[in-house]
C-alpha cells in the first residue's frame, strides 16, 4: 500500500464542491491513503471518466451499506466519505478499470443527484479541531501505537516498511490516526466508523483500541501455533488444525460440540446392546469420525452409518402373547373361515409355548391366492394375535437386488435394503414382516432380487444375514416372515422351496354373504360416518349385489360396491338433514348403482359345438365358453382366441384322439379330410394357456363331428392324452366356485383330483354342484353330448350286422 512522503505540501489548491460519486464495496479510503480500486459498474466507470475530464481528477468515494446492491440509491450510501485524487487509470481486458487513488479530505454529502448515467454529489469538507498545546494523553497514545505497531510486526503483521517509517515520524493526531487506520485488519463498518469520527484525539483513541485488539489476536494466534506445534506429529497438518481449533475454543470459552457429539455416539453404542463384533466396528467408525473434519463428506457418511447401527434392534424384542384361546379369538374376529391358516398359526404358538428356550426359528409362510381374499390383512391379524410389531414391505416391481440387500456405502445416497429398513421401523428383533406381491419381483441388469431373498427366507441361513450397507451380520431367525402372492408359477423354485405355501381360495357366494354381513357392511358404515342402527341390508339385496355387480374371487370389489351404496345414503342424509332407518333392498341397490353389470354366464339352451370349460386365473376361477365349428376344407385344425402353446397342443391331442375313435363314435372318416375345423375361445384379446381345457376342446370337436348338441348346464376341466385319458389339473376349488357362480349343475373333474377336492371343498358347495370324477374322455362325451349313446349303439349294431 504506497503512500506519498511529502504529505505536508499536498493539495494546497482550493478543492471543488461538486464531485462524481464512486460507491465502494467493502472498502473505505482514508485521507493520505493511496490504494488501487477495480471499477466495473457502468455508472462508476463514467464517474472516473467525468472526474478526469471535468473535475481536475477529483472524485468522491463513499461506502455502500450493502455490498450486494448493484445500483445503489442515496439511502444505500454512507453520508461521510473521502475526496480522492486519481493518480493513474488503467483499462483491463475484461472491461473493468483499475484506478489508483489517493485520499485527500473527509467530507459529508449535502446533495445527491444522478445525471448523464452517473451519480454526482455536492459535499462539505469536515474541518477537524486543532490541538496546539501539549496533550499528555495524545503523547501516550502516540507512543503506545508505535509500540503496538512494532509488536504486531514482530508477531507477523505485514506492513510496508516505508509506511512504518512515516508513521513513526508523524506526531499529529489526525494524520497519525488515518495512517494507522489504513493498515488495520478490520471490517468495512469499523473503518467507516473511524472515518466518521471527526475529533482527531477521539479517532486516535479508537484506532489505538482496534490496533490493540489486533495485536492481542496476533498474540493468541502465536500462542496457538506454539501450543499446537509442541503436541502435533511431524508434518501432520490435519492434527495441527484440530489443535488450533481446540486452543481457540479454550481461549473463547466455547463448548466443544464436536466432543459432545462423540460422547453421545459412545453412549448410544453402549445402550444399543450390540453384539461384540458390531460394537467393535461401531467404535472403529466413531474413532475415524473423531479424526475427521466435521464438515467433510466422509464424516456425513459415517454419521449416517452410525445412526443406523445404533437404531437397529440388535437385542430388543417384544414378548410373545402365548394365550392360544385369545389368539384364536382374534383370528376368528378378523377373518371368516381360513381354518387351515388359523390352525397353522395356533400350532406355531403352541410349539413356542411348550419350548423352554423359546428359540424356535420363525417359519416362512407364503399366502397364495387371488386378490381380495384377505392375505395382507391376515398378516396384521397374525401380528396382533402374537403381540408383535407388524411391518409391510411391497416387493411388486422391485428389480434391483440392492433393494433387498442394500447399497454399498461407497455409493452416494446409499441406504440399507428393505429388510433392515423394516426392522428399524418395527423397533424389535422379532416382528412380523409381510413381503407383499413376492410373485411380481422383476429382474434386470441390476441383479435378481428374488435370489437375494434366498438367504433372507431360509431359516437355516438367515441367522447371519449381511446387508451390504451395514456390512455386519444381523440375526433374522426370530422374525416371522409372511409372503403373499397371486400365483406360484412366477416364483423361482429355490425361493418357493424355502416357504411354507398356504393357499387361499376364492369365496363362494354363501361365504361372501357372511363376510359382507359380519365384516364389510359394519366397516363401511363406520368409515362413512353413519351408525349401525341406521342401515340394514337384506340378504336378498346382498346376494343381488354379489351376483349382479361383482365378479371376483375375493371381496374387495364387493366392499367397494357396498361403500358406494352407503355413500348414497350419507349424501341423502347430509342434504336433507333428516336421519331415518334405511332398509337396503334389491330395488334400492338397482336405483343407487344402476342396472346390473354381470349376468348369469351359463347357456340357456343346448348347442352344437359349444362347451363350458373351467379355467384358473390370478383373480380366481373363470368359466370359458369354447366354440367349435366345421366348414368345407382339407382337414385343417384352426385355433383362435389368443391360445398359448400348451392349449394348442391339448386341442391337437383331442383332435387326434377323435380321429382314432371315428369308427367307435360313428364319425365319417372322410369328414376329417373334407372339412376344416375351427376352435375359438371368446375374449380373444385375453391370452389363455394351460392343459386344463383339453377335455372341453375335445368335447366341442366331438359335438361338431357328430352334429349333436352339448348339455348347457355342464362344465368340465382336465388334461387329455392321445389315448383319451383325463389327467389331473390345478386350481379346482376356484374352478368349481366359478361354475357355481355361473349356475352350472354338474362339473366333470379328473379322478386323480378327487381326494384334494373332497378335502378342500365345503359341504354346501358340493351339495349345490354335482361333481363327476372321470378317468377317460369317453365318460364325459357319453354324459355331456345329447344322443351320443344312441349313436354309439347304432354304430355297434351296424358293425355287428356287417360282421354277420
Domain boundaries, given as residue ranges, for the chain: 7-125, 136-224, 257-311, 324-503, 514-542+557-593, 607-794
Of residues 374 and 11, the one with the higher pLDDT is: 374
| Joined grid coordinates for residue 802 | 356287417
Annotation: binding site for ATP: 369-376
Q: For residue range 443-468, what is the model confidence (pLDDT) as tens digits?
A: 777 778 888 888 888 878 888 889 99
| Joined grid coordinates for residue 267 | 453412549
Band of the pLDDT at 726, cuts 50, 70, 90?
very high
Band of the pLDDT at 361, cuts 50, 70, 90?
low
| Joined grid coordinates for residue 532 | 349401525
Q: Are 149 and 167 in contact (CB under 8 A)?
A: yes
pLDDT in the model for residue 401:
83
pLDDT in the model for residue 781:
92
- Domain 514-542+557-593, CATH: 1.10.8.60
Active site residues: 692, 735
Which of 500, 395, 479 shows the shortest CA–CA distance to 443? 395
The mean pLDDT of the chain is: 84
Residue with cell 440387500: 405
Band of the pLDDT at 701, cuts 50, 70, 90?
very high
**Percent of the chain at pLDDT exceeding 70:** 93
pLDDT in the model for residue 664:
87
Q: For residue range 2-30, what is the model confidence (pLDDT) as tens digits?
A: 444 444 444 445 788 889 999 998 889 89
pLDDT in the model for residue 3:
45
Band of the pLDDT at 721, cuts 50, 70, 90?
very high
Neighbours of 97 (CB within 10 A): 16
Which of 699, 709, 539, 674 shows the shortest CA–CA distance to 613? 699
Mean pLDDT confidence for 574-585: 83
What fold does the segment set 607-794 form as a domain?
Ribosomal Protein S5; domain 2 (3.30.230)
Annotation: binding site: 369-376
Q: Record the pTM.
A: 0.59
Does the pLDDT of residue 40 top 70, yes or no? yes
Q: Are 316 and 427 in contact (CB under 8 A)?
A: yes
Mapping DSSP to helix (H, G, I), strand (E, B) and coil, where does residue 461 land?
Answer: coil
CATH 1.20.58.1480 for domain 136-224, yes or no, is yes
Does the pLDDT of residue 222 top 70, yes or no? yes
pLDDT in the model for residue 11:
46
Cα-to-chain-centroid distance, residue 509:
39
Lowest-confidence segment of 157-171, 380-394, 407-421, 592-606 by average pLDDT: 592-606
Neighbours of 567 (CB within 10 A): 16
Q: In what order do the strands lie in the sheet with 620-632?
A: 637-640, 675-680, 620-632, 610-617, 714-716, 746-750, 770-774
Class for the domain spanning 7-125: mainly beta
Neighbours of 681 (CB within 10 A): 24
pLDDT in the model for residue 140:
87
Does the pLDDT of residue 233 top 60, yes or no? no
Mean pLDDT confidence for 156-162: 82
User: Of 387-401, 696-710, 750-764, which one has max mean pLDDT?
Assistant: 696-710
**Percent of the chain at pLDDT exceeding 90:** 18
pLDDT in the model for residue 1:
45
For 324-503, CATH number out of 1.10.3720.10, 3.40.50.300, 2.40.37.10, 3.40.1830.10 equals 3.40.50.300
Does the pLDDT of residue 353 top 50, yes or no? yes
Lowest-confidence segment of 201-210, 478-487, 618-627, 720-729 by average pLDDT: 618-627
Q: Environment class of residue 283 by beta-carbon count within 10 Å: exposed (0-12), middle (13-18) or buried (19+)? A: middle
Amino acid at each position: 500500500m504506497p503512500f506519498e512522503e511529502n504529505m505536508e505540501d499536498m493539495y494546497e489548491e482550493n478543492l471543488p464542491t461538486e464531485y462524481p460519486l464512486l460507491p465502494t464495496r467493502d472498502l473505505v479510503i482514508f485521507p493520505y491513503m493511496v490504494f488501487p480500486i477495480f471499477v466495473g459498474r457502468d455508472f462508476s466507470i463514467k464517474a472516473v471518466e467525468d472526474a478526469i475530464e471535468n473535475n481536475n481528477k477529483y472524485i468522491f468515494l463513499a461506502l455502500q451499506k450493502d455490498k450486494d446492491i448493484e445500483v445503489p440509491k442515496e439511502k444505500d450510501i454512507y453520508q461521510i466519505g473521502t475526496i480522492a485524487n486519481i493518480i493513474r487509470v488503467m483499462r483491463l481486458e475484461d472491461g473493468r478499470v483499475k484506478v489508483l487513488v489517493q485520499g485527500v479530505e473527509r467530507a459529508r454529502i449535502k446533495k445527491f443527484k444522478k445525471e448523464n448515467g452517473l451519480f454526482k454529489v455536492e459535499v462539505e469538507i469536515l474541518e477537524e479541531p486543532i490541538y496546539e498545546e501539549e496533550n499528555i494523553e495524545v503523547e501516550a497514545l502516540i507512543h503506545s501505537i508505535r509500540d503496538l505497531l512494532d509488536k504486531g510486526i514482530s508477531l507477523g503483521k505485514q506492513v510496508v516498511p516505508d509506511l512504518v517509517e512515516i508513521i513513526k515520524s508523524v506526531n499529529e493526531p489526525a494524520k497519525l490516526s488515518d495512517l494507522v487506520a489504513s493498515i488495520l485488519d478490520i471490517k468495512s463498518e469499523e473503518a467507516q466508523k473511524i472515518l466518521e469520527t471527526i475529533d482527531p484525539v477521539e479517532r486516535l483513541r479508537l484506532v489505538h483500541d482496534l490496533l490493540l485488539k489486533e495485536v492481542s489476536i496476533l498474540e493468541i494466534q502465536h500462542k496457538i501455533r506454539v501450543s499446537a506445534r509442541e503436541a502435533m506429529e511431524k508434518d501432520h497438518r490435519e492434527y495441527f488444525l484440530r489443535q488450533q481449533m481446540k486452543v481457540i475454543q479454550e481461549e473463547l470459552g466455547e463448548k466443544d460440540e464436536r466432543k459432545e457429539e462423540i460422547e453421545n455416539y459412545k453412549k448410544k453404542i453402549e445402550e444399543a446392546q450390540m453384539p461384540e463384533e458390531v460394537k467393535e466396528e461401531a467404535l472403529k467408525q466413531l474413532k475415524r469420525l473423531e479424526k475427521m473434519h466435521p464438515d467433510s463428506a466422509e464424516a456425513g457418511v459415517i454419521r449416517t452409518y452410525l445412526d443406523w447401527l445404533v437404531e437397529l434392534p440388535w437385542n430388543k424384542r417384544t414378548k410373545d402373547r402365548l394365550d392360544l384361546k385369545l389368539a384364536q379369538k382374534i383370528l376368528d374376529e378378523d377373518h371368516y373361515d381360513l381354518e387351515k391358516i388359523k390352525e397353522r398359526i395356533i400350532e406355531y404358538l403352541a410349539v413356542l409355548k411348550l419350548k423352554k428356550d423359546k428359540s424356535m426359528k420363525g417359519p416362512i409362510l407364503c399366502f397364495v391366492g387371488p386378490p381380495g381374499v384377505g392375505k395382507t390383512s391376515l398378516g396384521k391379524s397374525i401380528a396382533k394375535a402374537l403381540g408383535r410389531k407388524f411391518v409391510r414391505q411391497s416387493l411388486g416391481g422391485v428389480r434391483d437386488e440392492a433393494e433387498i440387500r442394500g447399497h454399498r456405502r461407497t455409493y452416494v445416497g446409499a441406504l440399507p435394503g428393505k429388510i433392515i429398513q423394516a426392522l428399524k421401523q418395527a423397533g424389535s428383533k422379532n416382528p412380523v414382516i409381510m413381503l407383499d406381491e413376492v410373485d411380481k419381483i422383476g429382474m434386470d441388469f441390476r441383479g435378481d432380487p428374488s435370489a437375494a431373498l434366498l438367504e433372507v427366507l431360509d431359516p437355516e441361513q438367515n441367522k447371519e444375514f449381511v446387508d451390504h450397507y451395514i456390512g455386519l451380520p444381523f440375526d433374522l431367525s426370530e422374525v416371522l416372515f409372511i409372503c403373499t402372492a397371486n400365483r406360484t408359477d412366477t416364483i423361482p423354485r429355490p425361493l418357493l422351496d424355502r416357504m411354507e405355501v398356504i393357499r387361499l381360495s376364492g369365496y363362494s357366494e354363501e361365504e361372501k354373504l357372511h363376510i359382507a354381513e359380519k365384516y364389510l357392511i359394519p366397516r363401511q358404515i363406520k368409515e362413512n360416518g353413519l351408525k349401525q342402527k341406521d342401515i340394514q341390508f337384506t340378504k336378498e339385496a346382498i346376494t343381488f349385489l354379489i351376483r349382479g355387480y361383482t365378479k371376483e374371487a375375493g371381496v374387495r370389489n364387493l366392499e367397494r360396491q357396498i361403500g358406494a351404496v352407503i355413500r348414497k345414503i350419507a349424501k341423502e342424509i347430509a342434504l336433507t338433514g333428516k336421519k331415518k332407518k334405511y332398509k337396503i333392498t334389491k330395488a334400492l341397490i338397482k336405483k343407487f348403482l344402476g342396472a346390473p353389470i354381470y349376468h348369469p354366464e351359463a347357456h340357456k339352451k343346448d348347442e352344437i359345438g359349444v362347451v363350458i370349460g373351467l379355467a384358473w386365473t390370478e383373480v380366481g376361477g373363470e368359466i370359458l365358453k369354447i366354440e367349435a365349428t366345421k366348414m368345407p376344407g382339407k382337414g385343417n385344425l384352426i385355433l383362435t382366441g389368443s391360445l398359448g402353446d400348451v392349449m394348442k397342443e391339448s386341442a391337437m391331442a383331442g383332435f387326434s384322439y377323435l380321429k382314432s375313435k371315428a369308427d367307435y363314435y360313428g364319425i365319417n372318416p372322410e369328414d376329417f379330410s373334407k372339412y376344416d375345423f375351427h376352435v375359438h375361445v371368446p375374449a380373444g384379446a385375453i391370452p389363455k394357456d394351460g392343459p386344463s381345457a383339453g377335455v372341453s376342446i375335445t368335447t366341442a370337436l366331438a359335438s361338431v363331428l357328430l352334429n349333436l348338441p352339448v348339455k348347457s348346464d355342464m362344465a368340465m376341466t382336465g388334461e387329455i392324452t392321445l389315448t383319451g385319458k383325463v389327467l389331473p389339473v390345478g386350481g379346482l376349488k376356484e374352478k368349481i366356485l366359478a361354475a357355481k357362480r355361473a349356475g352350472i349343475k354338474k362339473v366333470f373333474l379328473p379322478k386323480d383330483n378327487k381326494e384334494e377336492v373332497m378335502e378342500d371343498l365345503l359341504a354346501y358347495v358340493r351339495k349345490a354342484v354335482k361333481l363327476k370324477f372321470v378317468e377317460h374322455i369317453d365318460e364325459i362325451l357319453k354324459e355331456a353330448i345329447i344322443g351320443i349313446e344312441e349313436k354309439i349303439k347304432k354304430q355297434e349294431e351296424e358293425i355287428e350286422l356287417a360282421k354277420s
